[in-house]
Amino acid sequence: MNDYKRITRVIQYLDNHYTEQPDLETLARHSGLSRYHFHRLFSRWAGITPKEFVQYLTLSHAKQLLRRGDSVLDTSLASGLSGPGRLHDLCVNLATASPGKVKSGGAGWTITSGFADSPFGTCLVGESPRGICHLSFVETTSRHNAKSSIQKDWPNAKIAWDNAAASRLASSLFQRNNAATQPVIRALVRGTEFQVRVWRALLDVPHGALVSYGHIADAIGSPQSARAVGTAVGANRLAYLIPCHRVIRETGVFGNYRWGAERKRAIAAWESAAGTVANDRNQ
Q: Where in the sequence numbering do the catalytic residues fall?
A: 244
Q: Cα–Cα distances in Å, from 170 out to 134, 140, 173, 256?
A: 12, 17, 5, 24
For residue 241, give the amino acid letter. L
d(CA 21, CA 111): 47
Q: Cα–Cα distances in Å, from 250 out to 216, 217, 261?
A: 11, 12, 17
Please give the sequence-ordered ranges of beta strands (E in DSSP) within the chain, or none if there are none: 91-96, 110-118, 121-128, 131-137, 158-161, 184-189, 211-212, 247-248
d(CA 113, CA 157): 12
Cα angle, residue 134 at apex, residues 128 and 139 outer, rounded to 5°: 140
